[in-house]
Amino acid sequence: MPVRADWIYVGVAVWFAAGCLLSCLARKFMGPGVAEYFIANRRLTAIPAAMTYAATTYSAFMMVGLVGLTYKLGSSLLGFELTYLIGTVILLVYFAPRVWVAGRIYGYITPPELLAKRFENRWIGVVATLICVVMIIPYASVQYMGIGYLVEGISGGSVPFVVGALMVMATVFVYAYWAGMRSVAWTDALQASIMLASSILLVFYVVSRFFGGWGPYVEQLSIKASEYLKVKWPLLSYLGLVIPWFFFALSNPQVFQRYYVPRDVATLRRMIWGFAVFGFIYTVICTQLGFMARLVVPGLKVADKAMPALLSKVPGLLALVIFVGILAAAVSTLNSIILTLSSMVGRDVYRALRPGAPEERELLVGKLFIPVFAAACFAFAMLKPGLIVILSAMASGGMLMLVPAIFAAFLWRRATAHGVLASMVVGVVLVGVGYSFKLNPLGLSMTIWGLLASTLTLVAVSYLTRPPSIAGEFIETVNRELERRNIY
């Protein structure tokens, strides 16, 4: 049964008002300056830091895409999502303290800034920003589209697509613009709580209403859907998707920027730990919902319809709560993406190309781009150009080409600016060509070939060119500070 349109408007209004309240509170604590606006002056405490990391990472994909893919392919999806989590934990414990320390010593605010200053070349920041904007905007607009379709589906068409997309745009703009990172982090803490609580509620409702408990559910799963408990995803195609996601913690600027924000080492540790536990629970819940949908609404042709179909079987009020949970997941990812991209335009493009510009001007440029990016995502979602499918699919693959440079920044003194620039460009061009012409040499995704080419280019060009003067100093200074804090 569809959810009534007036219920949806009231539910979303209550949720939006709660976020606005937190956003207003965050504004009261906000001081002046770029660092304050974009990274909360490196003073975030553990709970908002962990929750914003989790809510930024986990988008509406989890409750719609992951549930649908588990419906279609079964257990392999848990493997895909948990391999991402394993990769993230490993990369976080190694790289997050390094980025955090470098940020404190050198005053970095954005991810490309670290690369541009470490390699003493402002064009690295410009190119990295361009790559991120081109890759992430289409991916972000898919989130708008997801909410548009979902609200249209659960309301039986009485709330149109455009209203769903507008809800997302308005909320993202208000939360990000009003008080920058502090507002985004505090509202993200609320969104993460809603995401987790609503998904747990749905799992328990479905188990008790449709199966009569966990025992009968597991029994029915092993009888009626045993095929889906095997590993059904072909290995090469699995690798093509899982490898870019394995490096998500380094390739995506919106999560990378969060390594600058914890106020001390203890907070950084709690951020990593809190995120990991959240991610583990949320992933298990979403994959279980995929299995449950397989049993409750079997025979769907389109995997993405699994969650809407499951919601059509639950009471309207519960469906509304779940919808708000999914909306919270989309908004918390989008406001972080848009805030980070805006900071990069101000810092890595405007300030880098006009070094004499005052900080106030950089902040103004950055803030101006928040509505620009929010509206660009909306326009993409409404126009649905054919290119959007290719660009959003290659988003994680394209940004993966920044990863060799990040490894080199901390681990390889001999790496040069020309090597880094060439590696980013070669990798992105290869991935772009691969996705445009649907090339999979030897059955492997072009993303993996792009990563290999990007790494080899970095090494080869670096040996042919001269390393920056501060290379050794940067690595030694960071390592000395890490040793002082017993981080190895």
Partner 1 sequence: MRPIARTRRRRLAWLSTFSLIVVLDFVVPYTLLKDIASLAGSYAFWAILTAITIALGYVYMLRWRD
Q: Interface residues with partner 1 (CB under 8 A)? A: 75-76, 78-79, 82-83, 85-87, 89-90, 92-93, 97, 218, 221-222, 226-227, 229-231, 235, 239, 264-266, 268-269, 272-273, 276-277, 280, 284, 287, 483, 485-488
Phi and psi of 135, rounded to 5°? -80, -40
User: Are the beta carbons of 20 and 170 closer than 8 angstroms?
Assistant: no
Residue number, 13 or 235, with CB nearest to partner 1: 235
378: helix, coil or strand? helix
Calculate the dihedral angle through the C-alpha atoms of 334, 336, 339, 345, rounding to the nearest 10 degrees.
-90
Q: Cβ 288 to partner 1, closest distance in Å?
A: 10
Q: Which amino acid is at 61?
A: F
Enter the DSSP assignment of 422: H
Quote the least distance from Cβ 99 to partner 1, whole Å.
14
Q: Which is nearer to partner 1, 307 or 487 (CB)?
A: 487
Query: In angstroms, rounded to a whole number, what is the distance separating the alpha carbons of residues 151 and 360?
Result: 40
Min separation Cβ 234 and partner 1, Å: 10
**Residue (32 or 472) nearer to partner 1, CB:** 472
Q: How near is the Cβ of 195 to partner 1 at its closest, in Å?
A: 19
Residue number with CB closer to partner 1 (101 or 428):
101
Is the CB of 190 or the CB of 221 nearer to partner 1? 221
Find the shortest distance in angstroms from Cβ 273 to partner 1.
Answer: 6
Binning the chain into helix, strand and coil, the percentages to the nearest 5 are 85, 0, 15
Half-sphere exposure of 339 (CA within 13 A, CB side): 37
Is residue 86 classed exposed, middle or buried when 0-12, 13-18 and 19+ CB atoms within 10 A define those classes? exposed
CB of 89 to partner 1, least distance (A): 5
- Which two three-digit tokens encode residue 341? 């991209």
Taking the least distance from each CB to partner 1, the nearer of 147 and 487 is 487
Distances in whole angstroms, Cα of residue 3 to Cα of each of 158, 209, 305, 431: 9, 19, 16, 42
Nearest-approach distance from CB 75 to partner 1, in angstroms: 4
3-state secondary structure of 152: helix
Nearer to partner 1, 266 or 389 (CB): 266
DSSP letter assigned to residue 17: H
